[in-house]
């Protein structure tokens, strides 16, 4: 259960969360998650208002580059026509996790933990993503979707179950571990170095943390696409082939 322990100066220490009501609710994570969601919505509305078919601005060009990269990955893994929703889903996941990761840059002296440094958010994102993967597979193939758990032999079922559990555990822990480690490093820099030196190291590490945050957001979204391709795309193609015969 989280405890409401605040560091000197008002910053929440890494691994501790603000729970003023002591009910097991990490309020700092909730607030930062809402902020990240609001930023993503604001980006969407801004792009919609500024989008042009002529010469795109720098911001539109950057988003179009990301969209094209995601679309090509979806096309190679699943097929756009098979899962047209995968592109906006992956882009939304990428932008949301990116903003959530970069929220740690809001303060330069104190160290606010990004919501992705709380394992609850990565697990929630993973649960929603994997549930939708299986829902999509069932909608495409009906109950035949579950047959791939016993292919090529029924004895493979326990291994497939273990594989599914390991994916559910590893995907969020990868995101959480990297962001949590970055928060700890920032706290160590602040605590161990004199103030007139720590701001230089702090700034350099935050630039690196910005890069890591972007890479982790991209990897998470990419793996979700891969899971769609593995759990849904292959089954869909095989089912369509069987129906053709």
Q: Whole-angstrom Cα distance, residue 72 to residue 145?
A: 25
216-226 pLDDT, tens digit per residue, is: 999 999 888 88
Spatial distance between the Cα atoms of 173 and 197, rounded to a whole number of angstroms: 32
Token look-up 């104190």 returns: 110
* The predicted structure's pLDDT at residue 93: 92
Residues whose CB falls within 8 Å of the CB of residue 136, separated by 6 or more in sequence, listed in order: 83, 228, 232
The whole-number average pLDDT for the span 148-175 is 83
Q: What pLDDT sits at residue 142?
A: 78
The 10s digit of each residue's pLDDT in 177-219 is 888 887 777 777 767 777 677 677 777 777 887 888 889 999 9
pLDDT band at 241 (very low <50, low <70, confident <90, very high): very low
pTM of the model: 0.77
Q: Return the pLDDT at 204.
A: 76
Q: Which of 100, 41, 95, 84 is nearest to 225 (CA)?
A: 84
What confidence tier does 112 reach under pLDDT thresholds 50, 70, 90? low
Q: How far apart are CA 189 and CA 136, in angstroms?
A: 46
pLDDT tens digits, 41-89: 998 888 888 887 777 778 888 888 888 888 888 888 777 777 788 888 8
- Is residue 99 over pLDDT 90? yes
Is omega for the bond preceding 147 within 30 degrees of 0, making it cis? no
Q: Give the residue among 103, 134, 130 at the shortest CA–CA distance from 116.
A: 103
């Amino acid at each position: 259960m989280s405890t409401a322990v605040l560091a000197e100066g008002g910053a929440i220490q890494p691994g501790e969360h603000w729970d003023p009501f002591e009910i097991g609710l990490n309020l700092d994570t909730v607030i930062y998650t809402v902020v990240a969601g609001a930023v993503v919505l604001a980006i969407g509305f801004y792009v919609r208002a500024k989008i042009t078919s002529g010469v795109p601005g720098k911001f539109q060009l950057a988003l179009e580059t990301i969209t094209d990269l995601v679309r090509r990955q979806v096309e190679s893994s699943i097929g756009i026509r098979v899962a047209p929703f995968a592109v906006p889903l992956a882009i939304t996941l990428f932008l949301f996790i990116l903003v959530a990761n970069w929220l740690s840059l809001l303060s330069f002296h104190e160290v606010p933990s990004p919501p992705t440094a709380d394992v609850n958010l990565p697990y929630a994102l993973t649960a929603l993503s994997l549930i939708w993967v299986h829902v999509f597979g069932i909608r495409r193939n009906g109950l035949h979707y579950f047959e791939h758990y016993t292919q090529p032999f029924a004895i493979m079922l326990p291994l497939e179950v273990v594989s599914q559990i390991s994916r559910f555990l590893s995907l969020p822990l990868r995101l959480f571990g990297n962001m949590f480690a970055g928060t700890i490093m920032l706290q160590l820099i602040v605590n161990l170095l004199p103030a007139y030196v720590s701001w230089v190291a702090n700034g350099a590490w935050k630039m690196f943390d910005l890069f890591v945050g972007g890479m982790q957001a991209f990897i998470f979204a990419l793996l979700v696409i891969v899971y769609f391709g593995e759990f849904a795309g292959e089954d869909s193609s095989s089912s369509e082939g069987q129906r053709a015969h």
